Structure 1
Amino acid sequence: MKVPATKIQEEMSKEAKSSYFDLPALDVSVAFPQATPASVFPKCTSDYYQLDDLLTSEEKAVRLKVRECMEKEIAPIMTKYWEKAEFPFEVIPKLGALHISGGTIKGYGCPGLSVTGSAIALAEIARVDASCSTFILVHSSLAMLTIGLLGSEMQRQKYLPSLAELSSISCWGLTEPDYGSDASALRTTATKVEGGWILEGQKRWIGNSTFADVLVIFARNTATNQINGFIVQKDAPGLQSTKIENKIGLRMVQNGDILFKKVFVPDEDRLPGVNSFKDTSKVLAVSRVMVAWMPIGIAMGVYDMCHRYLKERKQFGAPLAAFQLNQQKLVQMLGNIQAMLLVGWRLCKLYESGKMTPGQASLGKSWNTLRARETVSLGRELLGGNGILADFLVAKAFCDLEPIYTFEGTYDINTLVTGREITGLPSFKPAPLRPQSHL
């Protein structure tokens, strides 16, 4: 007589279930011993055209110290935190010790790096983990730079030293639920009152905002209708920041929704250099150069991982690196990276010489993210099934690149900025609809 499946299930003891079903996952090095996971990061093999020859000794030193820290301190833990969508607060002191926060700002405890040096540092962080590079980008190249360029001397002295040490953390709030690409139309308001300002409104997608000590916020002055900037303290009454859940990329970055309900900001914390939306371009010009280097770093890390993996992983009695199709994909990835590196380097030189235009910055960001997308996609193919595991970096990089392709100006918007510059014709708004004839 056949025993019903339900009866068999009932007779299974809890102890037997536990011993079979509740075992922890095998360590990836045991489950798949043929290839080394990204927790032991591969050496850099992607500088095929020897970009190092174009760097100063100081820039080379920055690259090496950041690379060593990321490979030693971040690579072993990044997959765990990425999977949990939690930020690794334990690494903040280690990132602070690199003395790269504040980037190009001179004085106030900031490193005073060249634009190239700051970009190289960000790329080296992104090579191992894009979430950590985004954390530094927001904190350093947006919030700190805004205070450095557009703040008062008192504000610079008050805020920059602790931010440079990463003993306090900042975020930068421009984007709103209804205004992303059309950020100049933002609705958050600032109303003048005795001794300060009252902020009302909402921001969205603000990185670091759930734990930032200092929030740099942009709002519309209700008297002038112009955009002003403000420094808001995290404990300000009426301020609320909550984490955006369910992201598929940059999962370690704590992006937040911020609500302002009659938040008072004293006069001393209004940024005097922000009197219109155009003033934000002084910051965005630098940050867009930095963002153009993040896909360079991501692509470098993916190439390095694939280069090692193809030599370790064997199929049909030979390493995957011995097969022609795999070599072709690897070379295509490598060629993309060399071109991206040279575009990024030239962009830095143009900025440092005062010659860079907004269109050039936008082309660098849009083109580099497009090429990185192709590079990471090829890497996903090369790793086969392991290409969907965060343990081997490529799947994680594949997802992390998607928000970078979009933030700091989407690919499409950045191409329109460049298009406007080379043609003299703006095309951001659709042509007005013609009235329909009623025949």
Structure 2
Amino acid sequence: MGTDTARETTVQERLYSVADWYDAESLLTTDERRVLARLRDFLDAEAKPLLAEYWERGEFPEQLARPLIDLDLMEPAELTGPGAEGAERTPARGIYQGFRVFELARTDASLATWYTAQAGLFRTAIRVGASAEQQARWMPRVIDFSLKGVFSLTEPEHGSDIAGGLSTTARFEADPDGGTWVLDGAKRWIGGASTADVLAVFARDTADGQVKAFLVDRQAAGVSLEKIHGKTALRMMQNAHITLTGVRVPESMRLHNVNSFKDVAAMLRAMRSDVAWIATGIQAGAFEAALSYVTERQQFGRPLGSFQLVQEKLARMLGNLTASLSLVIRLTEQQASGTYRDQDSALAKMQTSLLMRETVALAREVAGGNGITLATDVARFHADAEAVYSYEGTHDINALIIGRALTGNSAFTR
């Protein structure tokens, strides 16, 4: 190994160590750390050199997709046993899954969002919404990515008010084959839709007014996808506006355990923890980029990192990151024990996102004018954080979920 390469490795290892101030990674098993090291090596060697270019172009580096899938990260064989099919393995521990998201996000928010679209959102839709027979048929294909899907809930006119405002409709038509559903409406901000096999679409049953869920073939007649342009955050992530016009879906492709918005809420309760891990990982990436910059950058004949005001900002960033990591770890431990509460996942998403917003702003600040350039990495984290701050429940919506649990009174408007 050459001197420059060895020095780069040493610096990178130190950054990882400093960012995990209380050594939270020690909670992982040796095998779990080995899998995550495999991911980290791939991200450092293959992904990082591409990120600035593809972020600026607003395109996803598709050449990373298959290698990421081939890393076998969702249910790694060395962690889950040698089951013949993915669904027969013992599931990987929640703490491993959280750190997997963290590693992706500390490299890039779009990569983390792309991976969790399958491993988090779509998998949760199947795990929570599908019947036992449907799960047996689909889950192995979800785990190995041979069935790629996306979670299609948000609509052009309904985001925070989706529970009561969801307007995509589903109309049932009886037939000898078990019946067919006809879907009409639109979905928006659906990340990864253009490369998915199926869209997990949530629609309101015209007969009973309840929300149902369907796996819709992306190439089915009546399905139209349009890429959303002009984004200033998550530019690499390909978000789509989806129009559904008379789309016919067989009853066998309806998720049989989704029969009201309460069932959808159960999915959101589980998925918000992934977003909290993403918000925490973004803080790690921004902090590491800022620390690296102020260590190397010279001003007034001294490293930037030697100035008191810069050190104070670094300390605040590390405090935010460490507090966030502690929060998501405890939430993950609770969920692993079977405790799933809306207010718990809402608190984690709200607080980690709030701290993330401050952390990336401080990172941009200590990098000065260079902090708005992609060359430092700081600008990418700073911009991408704004998308994460809003999705899977805005700050205000999550605060109201927590407030309802605290007071027993709902402040949501009707």
TM (norm. structure 2) is 0.90
What corresponds to 1:178 in structure 2? Answer: 157
How many residues align structurally? 392
- Structure 1 unaligned blocks of 5 or more: 1-35, 431-439
Within the alignment, does 1:63 sit opposite 2:36 as a pair? yes
Aligned partner of residue 76 in structure 1, secondary structure = helix
What corresponds to 2:258 in structure 1? Answer: 274
Specify which of 65, 74, 83 is matched with residue 92 of structure 1: 65
Alignment map for 1:6-405 (pairs within 5 Å): 43-44=15-16, 45-101=18-74, 108-109=85-86, 112-184=91-163, 185-193=165-173, 194=175, 195-405=179-389
Aligned partner of residue 49 in structure 2, secondary structure = coil
Task: For residue 295 of structure 1, report the CA deviation from its aligned partner.
Answer: 1.1
TM (norm. structure 1) is 0.85
Task: For residue 143 of structure 1, report the CA deviation from its aligned partner.
Answer: 1.1
Aligned AA (2:168): T
Mapped partners of 1:162, 1:334: distance in 2? 39
Q: Are residues 162 and 202 of structure 1, via their aligned partners in 2, closer, same or farther at CA, if it must alter by over 3 Å?
A: same
Mapped partners of 1:262, 1:291: distance in 2? 33
Q: What do residues 103-154 of structure 1 show as CA deviations (whole Å, max 9, x unaligned)?
A: 9999752672222111110110000010010111222211122112221344
Q: What do residues 53-93 of structure 1 show as CA deviations (whole Å, max 9, x unaligned)?
A: 33333442343222222112210101111111111111111
Task: For residue 408 of structure 1, report the CA deviation from its aligned partner.
Answer: 0.2
> Does the CA contact (< 8 Å) of 1:296 and 1:341 recur in 2?
yes
Task: For residue 42 of structure 1, report the CA deviation from its aligned partner.
Answer: 8.1
Mapped partners of 1:48, 1:321: distance in 2? 18
Task: For residue 389 of structure 1, report the CA deviation from its aligned partner.
Answer: 0.8
Q: What do residues 144-173 of structure 1 show as CA deviations (whole Å, max 9, x unaligned)?
A: 221122213443344333332234421111
Aligned partner of residue 180 in structure 1, secondary structure = coil
Aligned partner of residue 271 in structure 1, secondary structure = coil
Mapped partners of 1:277, 1:394: distance in 2? 39
Mapped partners of 1:105, 1:238: distance in 2? 40
CA RMSD of aligned residues (A): 2.1
Q: What do residues 332-388 of structure 1 show as CA deviations (whole Å, max 9, x unaligned)?
A: 111111111100100101111123421111011000000011011000011111100
Mapped partners of 1:79, 1:167: distance in 2? 29
Mapped partners of 1:43, 1:327: distance in 2? 15
Task: Flag the structure with higher helix content.
Answer: 2
- Structure 2 unaligned blocks of 5 or more: 1-7
Task: For residue 255 of structure 1, report the CA deviation from its aligned partner.
Answer: 0.8
